[in-house]
Each structure stands twice: as structure tokens, then as C-alpha cells.
Amino acid sequence: MTKIAIVGVSGRMGRTLVEAISMDNSATLAGAIDRQDSSMIGRDINNNHIAVVSSLLDVIDSIDVVIDFSSPLAAVGNAEICGRFGKNIVIGTTGLTSEQVQCIKSASKSTAICMSSNFATGVNLCFKLAEMAASALGDDVDIEISEAHHKHKLDAPSGTALTLGHVVARTLDRDLDQVAVYRRQGDIGERDSKAIGFSSVRAGDIVGDHTVMFSGDGERVEITHKASSRMAFAKGAIRAAKWLSVQDSGLFDMQDVLGLK
């Protein structure tokens, strides 16, 4: 039985993770963490006899793996704590800076970390399909990536859209930082054939839609994933946590968990 702590239990993903763990016969909720000013502090989570605390340090001795979908700053701090105490951590937080990613990489030298922009199994299959499509279609197509999320999402493009971009760019031997186009307005001129375009929608309660389009002369290939519930992400994160519980140290992603590498 994998003993899991959830960081950010009052958030949308946190609540979904609690529900998903309750339906999993090989995982149990062993810790619940929320921000210090949360009204949830001290309360029992779903009658599990697990009181919400404000620091991972309060439960570090009673858990195997942490799942963190909170904030970049909190994720970095919790990764460092896990590295210090030899506990593994799943990080689903997006919007991290390059410096924060480096901190997480450093922590992975002492513990196992699984970090991914998206833990849904279907999305990770799409990463692989995008790689295959880019390899087969090469430079003969124009590539555009579109995504849509709820109005409360803070970062754009989404981490998943950026991962799709990196997968395609790497396959085509391009530097995404050099070829990505994030904004088009006015007289933009003819499209650069090497460009990888991004577009974002923020509206309502959209859970998450992603499409990568390969458009050539006379035909178009589109790889699309639509999430209708956060449960897809939660179940994937729990799957990652159970897989991670038997790893020693290193930085992994969901592709490792699913054996797609």
C-alpha cells in the first residue's frame, strides 16, 4: 500500500486526488497539506482521520510519496524537503521558471521525482503520437498547437502545449525558443516554414483541450486530446506515485511511468 501525501488539498486537483485515492485499492491518503491561511487547516479530510496541516514536514515521517499540484514556489520547497528526507515526489505544477526546474533537478539527485506537464494517460500517448507524426511528416508541413482551459488558469500557453512543442521541435531538430510563435497581430507577413505556432483560449470551466496540427498541401493531420474531468489527471498522478515508490533517485516523467520511452 503506497502512503501518499497531497499538497494543496483544498484546490480543484487536490480534491480530485483525495477522491481518486479513496477509489484505489493499492494507495492510501497519509497526509494532507494546504497553505497556512487555509480554512481547511486542522479539519479532517473526508472522514479519513487525516487532519490538514500547513507543512509537509508535519507528515514527512508517515508517508512514502508526495503529490504536489500547488504552486511553483511550494513545489520547489517540497522537492527540497523530499530530497532531504528521502521521500519521493510527483510534481504536476506548471509555470516553473528555469531556475526552479534546476532546483528540482538538484533534489532528484537524492530522491526520485516524477515531473510532468500532464499526467493523463491519453495526453502522454499524444506526446508519443506527435513525435511519430513529426518524424514521418518532417519539414513538409506547418505545425500549430492550440489549447483551451478554464478562466482561472494562470499560465499560457499551458505546460502541456509547451511539452507538445518541445516534442515536435526536438524531433525536427529545431530549437523551440527560436521557432515558437506565441502572438500574431496585424500585418505579420508570410509564415516561416520552420515556425511552431501556439494559440490559447481561457474561458468558463474548460478542463483542458489540446490539439497539434500538421498541415501540408492537400492534407492535414490533427492529434487532439480533450479532458472532460480532472479525474484523468488524478488517476495518472496516483499511477505515477505508485510507480515512483519503488524507484531510488532521478528525474522521471509520465513517459517513463507508461514505458513510452
Cis geometry, peptide bond prior to residue 72 (ω within 30 degrees of 0): no
Residue 166 known to be catalytic: no
The rounded distance, in Å, linking the Cα atoms of 135 and 79 is 35
Residue 18 identity (one-letter amino acid): V
- Determine whether 153 is an active site residue: yes
- Judge whether 65 and 28 are in contact, CB under 8 Å: no
Q: Which of 46, 210, 236 is nearest to 129 (CA)?
A: 210
What is the rounded (10 degree) CA torsion for 230, 232, 237, 239? 150
Determine which one of 3, 128, 153, 194 is catalytic.
153
What phi, psi does 184 have (nearest 5°)? -135, 130
Nearest to 52 by CA among 94, 10, 113: 10
Cell of 184: 500574431
Instruction: For 69-103, give the DSSP string.
Output: -S-HHHHHHHHHHHHHHT-EEEE------HHHHHH
Query: Is the separation of the CB atoms in 250 and 106 below 8 Å?
Result: no
Contact criterion met (CB below 8 Å) for 133 and 223: yes
Could you say which of 87, 149, 210, 235 is catalytic?
149
Distance between first and last Cα of the chain: 27
Q: Which residues are catalytic?
A: 149, 153
